[in-house]
Amino acid sequence: MLNPDLLEHIISKSGFSLKGKPKVRSVGGGSINQAYQVSSDKFDLFVKLNSGVDPSFFEAEKRGLEILSDNSEFEIPQVFTSGKSGGYSFLSMEYFDATKRQSDYWFTAGQRLARMHQVREEEFGLSFNNFMGALPQNNAPLENWAEFFIERRLKPQVELAMNKGLMDISHQKLFEKLYTKLDSLVPTEKPSLIHGDLWSGNIMSTNSGEATIIDPAVHYGHRESDLAMTQMFGGFSSEFYKGYESIYPLEPDFSSRIGLLNLYPLLIHVNLFGLGYLRETINNVKRFI
C-alpha cells in the first residue's frame, strides 16, 4: 500500500491540499511500476511509483507527455508533478476512467496519429534522452534514419544483450550484416514526431471515450516504427489503420517491413524479459539479410 507520508507529499506537490483520507486503489501500471488511483472530492490522480529506476525516468516521461500534448490532437492526461522521495521516484497525472469508447474510437485515433506524424523535424532523435520500458534510450540527433536506427537503437541493445549473456558473437555478426543493407530497406522520409512505444497497452480511452496515448518513448523517428509496433501483441483494430491511411497513406509494402522495424522493441524485450523473445528477433534479422 502507498506510504501515507509519501502519499501526502505527492498530493501536495501535485498542487492539491489533503483534507481527510483519500481513496487509494491499486491499478495497472505496466510491467515495471506500481500504480494507484488516488481520489477525493477535490482531485482524481493517477500515481506511478518505482524504487529501482534512474532518477530521470519519470521526468523524461513527463516531458514526453507534454510534447505529445502540445503537438497532437490526442487528449493527453495532464501531468502534475514528478520527483523522488522516500526511496521512490514518482509521477502524478490526471486519472482517466477508461471505461467507455466512442463509436469512432479507433478510426479517429488513427487520424490523430497520422496528423501527429506530420509534425516534422530535420534530424532523427530528440533534445533529451528518455527510456523505452526501463532501459535508457539515446536520442542524440542524426540526419540519416538508418544510421540513427543502428547507432542509437540496435547497437546499444545488441551490446547489452551480449553483456548479459543473452546473445553471442554469431548473433552480433547477423546484425552487422543487416547494418550494411538497412539504408535500402526502408523508404526515405523526414523525421516524424512518434510515440515510440505504441503497443496496445499504451492506448486507452479518456473520460469522454476518445482514444489517448500514454507511456511514450517519444522522439522524432520514422513513422513506420509506430505503425509497426501497433502490430505487436495482437495489433489494433482495422479501423485504426483506415483512419490513418485516410490522412497520411503509407508507402507501398509497409507490411513487409514490420518485422524489421520491430527489431528494436524485440531487443528491448530480450534485455528486459529474457530469451523467450530471442528466436523471433534473430528470425527477423535473417529475413532481411
Query: Known catalytic residues?
Result: 197
The answer to whether 28 touches 53, Cβ cutoff 8 Å, is no
CA-based R_g, the chain, Å: 20
The answer to whether 158 touches 267, Cβ cutoff 8 Å, is yes
What are the C-alpha distances in Å from 83 to residues 51, 80, 119, 196, 264? 12, 11, 30, 23, 29
Calpha distance 120→116 (Å, rounded): 9
- List strand residue ranges (DSSP E) for 54-110, in order: 79-85, 88-94
Q: Which three cell numbers stand for residue 84?
A: 523522488
Q: Phi then psi for 250, rounded to 5 degrees?
A: -80, 155
